[in-house]
């Protein structure tokens, strides 16, 4: 099989990774970084597109994360290099402009500008970014980058944000500076993770509940390797369709629509809008149900809820791609599969499987082979752990 791995082996060993990042820092900036921050990516167990409809999402902040190693500068300039993209950006904190041709720069600039607009003093720095979250694959590398950058500025500036406020400011940066109208899910997940737990997020009041996962289950990410872009039209289109459906039903968000209400008033919606609405109403309810089934270790229910979510994504919300269908077939046929579905907003990218922990290796091998057979693409298939939210850490100690 041809190897298309995005994440090299060295990156999965924290010691080696910290060493490489420090080495890169020395080469570019001379000397050592003085602070390290990290923020996780995430997979969604349930709740595709429910966040902007103010419903429930069950999400897992994961051990794939974004690191930033930095050192303060005194001239109010920020120089930042991404090892993933082999690209550098430099900008003055006192006149932050967005960059038209290079999207990634705007995530860093946007966070700096948004923090400063809130009256939080940002300091200049040299910084190296390195991520093990695959980019543009639905595991939220953009939020991981934003939340790591915000945590770096927080530490440099000597002030402290609550995880909730940090998430909201990062979302604001992505909405207003980058121009992607994402919901709050990605940033909340990246900031509020608790080790060993999934998070049930109520996107209306932004309350979260840590959801303990019963033993014996492994979470395995299955990357279709087909990339997606959220600034593409489909995401905005789905949002607009949901807003129109909510307006037609006289509610402020689809969160307020019950199954009974939809059944009684379906005729007031266009057939297309009714399908979108049906998916969101059921998907939000499934997020709550799955939280209970995961804690209770009720594997048949986990499998049914995941299957219903994928079917809705394919038949009602139209966010499936041929690569996702091929991956779903491969995951369900593999030994040890308990449940499988899309991991994020759809349109390609990553999928997630919940797998009998004792059969993880056999599962990985079978999925890889079956997916390659049907698509001629070699997928990345890897287990992930539940990880804590954005934080500073001692990279120098790890790298030694």
Which is nearer to ligand ADP, 336 or 346 (by Cβ)? 346
Tally Cβ neighbours within 10 Å of residue 94. 9
Tally Cβ neighbours within 10 Å of residue 261. 14
Which is nearer to Mg ion, 142 or 284 (by Cβ)? 142
Question: What is the closest distance, in whole angstroms, from the C-beta atom of residue 227 to ligand ADP in the complex?
Answer: 8
Q: Does 66 bind Mg ion (CB under 5 A)?
A: no
In the complex, the residues that contact ligand ADP under the rule CB under 6 A are 66, 82, 84-85, 103-104, 107, 129, 131, 135-142, 145, 229-230
Residue 229 interacts, among Mg ion, ligand ADP, none and using kind-specific CB cut-offs from 5 to 8 Å, with ligand ADP
Tally Cβ neighbours within 10 Å of residue 19. 16
Question: What is the closest distance, in whole angstroms, from the C-beta atom of residue 176 to ligand ADP in the complex?
Answer: 15
Helix axes 185-192, 163-172, angle to 10 degrees: 150
Q: Kindly provide the b/e burial profile for residues 339-351, where b requires at least 16 CB atoms within 10 angstroms of the residue's own CB.
A: bbbbbbbbbbbbb
Question: What is the closest distance, in whole angstroms, from the C-beta atom of residue 229 to ligand ADP in the complex?
Answer: 5
Residue 82 interacts, among Mg ion, ligand ADP, none and using kind-specific CB cut-offs from 5 to 8 Å, with ligand ADP
Q: Give dist(CA 66, CA 84) in Å, integer.
A: 10
Residue 137 interacts, among ligand ADP, Mg ion, none and using kind-specific CB cut-offs from 5 to 8 Å, with ligand ADP
Residue 57 interacts, among Mg ion, ligand ADP, none and using kind-specific CB cut-offs from 5 to 8 Å, with none
Q: Which residue is nearest to Mg ion (CB)?
A: 142
Chain position carrying tokens 């919901």? 183
Residue 167 interacts, among Mg ion, ligand ADP, none and using kind-specific CB cut-offs from 5 to 8 Å, with none
Question: What is the closest distance, in whole angstroms, from the C-beta atom of residue 344 to ligand ADP in the complex?
Answer: 6
Residue 343 interacts, among Mg ion, ligand ADP, none and using kind-specific CB cut-offs from 5 to 8 Å, with none
Residue spans of beta strands (DSSP E) within 106-206:
125-131, 197-202
Which is nearer to ligand ADP, 136 or 164 (by Cβ)? 136
Question: What is the closest distance, in whole angstroms, from the C-beta atom of residue 142 to ligand ADP in the complex?
Answer: 3
Contacts (Cβ under 8 Å, ≥6 apart) of 24: 81, 83, 128, 130
Question: What is the closest distance, in whole angstroms, from the C-beta atom of residue 143 to Mg ion in the complex?
Answer: 6
Catalytic site includes residue 186: yes
Q: Does 82 bind Mg ion (CB under 5 A)?
A: no
100, 106 contact by CB (below 8 A): no
Which is nearer to ligand ADP, 199 or 257 (by Cβ)? 199
Residue 136 interacts, among ligand ADP, Mg ion, none and using kind-specific CB cut-offs from 5 to 8 Å, with ligand ADP
Give one word for 134, left, alpha or beta, with left for phi > 0 and alpha for psi -120 to 50: beta
Question: What is the closest distance, in whole angstroms, from the C-beta atom of residue 7 to ligand ADP in the complex?
Answer: 11
Chain position carrying tokens 């009720």? 298
Residue range at the interface with Mg ion (CB under 5 A); choices 139-147, 162-170, 276-284, 326-334 = 139-147
Tally Cβ neighbours within 10 Å of residue 252. 11
Indicate which single residue of 142, 226, 284, 309 sits in contact with Mg ion (rule: CB under 5 A).
142
- Vertex 271: Cα angle to 279 and 268 (nearest 5): 100
Q: Give dist(CA 375, CA 247) in Å, integer.
A: 41
Which is nearer to Mg ion, 53 or 142 (by Cβ)? 142
Q: Give dist(CA 390, CA 306) in Å, integer.
A: 28
Residue range at the interface with Mg ion (CB under 5 A); choices 31-39, 137-145, 268-276, 323-331 = 137-145
Secondary structure of residue 317 in the 3-state scheme: coil
Q: Give dist(CA 352, CA 357) in Å, integer.
A: 14
Question: What is the closest distance, in whole angstroms, from the C-beta atom of residue 313 to Mg ion in the complex?
Answer: 18
List, in sequence order, every residue forming a beta bridge with 323; answer none if it has no partner: none
| Closest to 212 measured CA to CA, from 130, 296, 139 | 296
Q: Give dist(CA 277, CA 258) in Å, integer.
A: 10
x-or-dash string of contact with Mg ion, 88-127, rule CB under 5 A? ----------------------------------------
Which is nearer to ligand ADP, 141 or 226 (by Cβ)? 141
Which residue in the list 9, 51, 186, 329 is annotated as catalytic?
186
278, 316 contact by CB (below 8 A): yes
Count of all residues that appear for the chain in the document = 400
- Contacts with Mg ion, residue ranges (CB under 5 A): 142
> What positions carry a catalytic annotation?
186
């Amino acid at each position: 099989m041809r190897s298309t791995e995005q994440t090299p082996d060295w990156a999965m060993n924290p010691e080696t990774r910290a060493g490489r990042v420090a080495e890169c820092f020395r080469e570019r900036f001379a000397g050592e970084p003085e602070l390290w921050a990290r923020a996780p990516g995430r997979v969604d167990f349930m709740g595709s597109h429910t966040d902007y409809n103010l419903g429930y999402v069950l999400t897992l902040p994961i051990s794939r994360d974004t690191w930033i190693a930095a050192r303060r500068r005194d001239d109010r300039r920020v120089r930042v290099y991404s090892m993933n993209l082999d690209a550098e950006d430099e900008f003055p904190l006192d006149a932050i402009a967005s960059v038209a041709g290079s999207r990634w720069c705007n995530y860093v600039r946007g966070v700096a500008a948004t923090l400063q607009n809130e009256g939080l003093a940002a300091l200049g720095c040299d910084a190296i970014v390195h991520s093990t979250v695959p980019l543009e694959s639905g595991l939220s590398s953009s939020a991981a980058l934003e939340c790591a950058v915000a945590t770096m500025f927080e530490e440099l500036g000597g002030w402290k944000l609550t995880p909730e406020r940090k998430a909201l400011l990062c979302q604001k940066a992505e909405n207003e500076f980058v121009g992607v109208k994402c919901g709050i899910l990605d940033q909340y997940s990246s900031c509020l993770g608790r080790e060993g737990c999934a998070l049930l997020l109520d996107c209306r009041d932004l309350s979260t509940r840590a959801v303990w996962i019963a033993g014996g289950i492994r979470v395995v990410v299955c990357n279709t390797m087909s990339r997606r872009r959220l600034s593409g039209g489909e995401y905005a289109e789905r949002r607009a369709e949901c807003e129109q459906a909510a307006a037609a039903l006289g509610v402020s968000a689809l969160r307020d629509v019950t199954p009974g209400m939809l059944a009684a008033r379906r005729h007031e919606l266009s057939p297309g809008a009714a399908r979108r609405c049906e998916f969101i109403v059921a998907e939000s309810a499934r997020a709550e149900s799955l939280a209970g089934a995961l804690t209770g270790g009720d594997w048949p229910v986990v499998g049914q809820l995941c299957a219903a979510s994928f079917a809705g994504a394919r038949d009602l919300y139209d966010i499936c791609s041929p690569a996702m269908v091929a991956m779903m077939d491969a995951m369900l046929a593999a030994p040890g599969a308990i449940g499988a579905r899309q991991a994020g907003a759809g349109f390609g990218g990553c999928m997630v499987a919940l797998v009998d922990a004792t059969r993880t290796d056999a599962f990985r091998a079978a999925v890889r082979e079956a997916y390659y057979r049907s698509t001629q693409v070699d997928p990345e298939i890897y287990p992930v752990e539940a990880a804590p939210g954005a934080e500073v850490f001692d990279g120098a100690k790890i790298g030694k």
